[in-house]
Amino acid sequence: MRLDRRLRGFAASSVARLELAAAVLTATWVLAWWRAATPQAPVVLDVLATAGGLTGFVAVVVLLVRAAPRAPRRLRSAVA
């Protein structure tokens, strides 16, 4: 019963992180589309859009790494 609870908890958090990564990636795409669609935007907005895109990319990478399956703690300590 304990394993089932842990497995469900991992699956729920993993799916939540993957969904959040998809949402951040979509927002980054929208930001990039907006930046390309408005070439006459002020420099400040252009810098903010670029910073937002880079931040979104880093956030997606972090979320995907955190959502990846990992070996159990006992196995990791035995291998190391």
- In the prediction, which pLDDT does 71 show? 67
- In the prediction, which pLDDT does 6 show? 79
Is 72 strand, coil or helix?
coil
Domain ranges of the chain: 2-79
Rounded to whole angstroms, the Cα distance separating 20 from 34 reads 21
- In the prediction, which pLDDT does 58 show? 94
- In the prediction, which pLDDT does 77 show? 64
Whether 17 contacts 66, CB under 8 Å: yes
Q: pLDDT truncated to tens, each residue of the chain (80 aa)?
A: 677 787 888 888 888 989 999 999 999 989 888 888 888 888 888 888 889 889 999 999 999 998 887 766 666 666 65
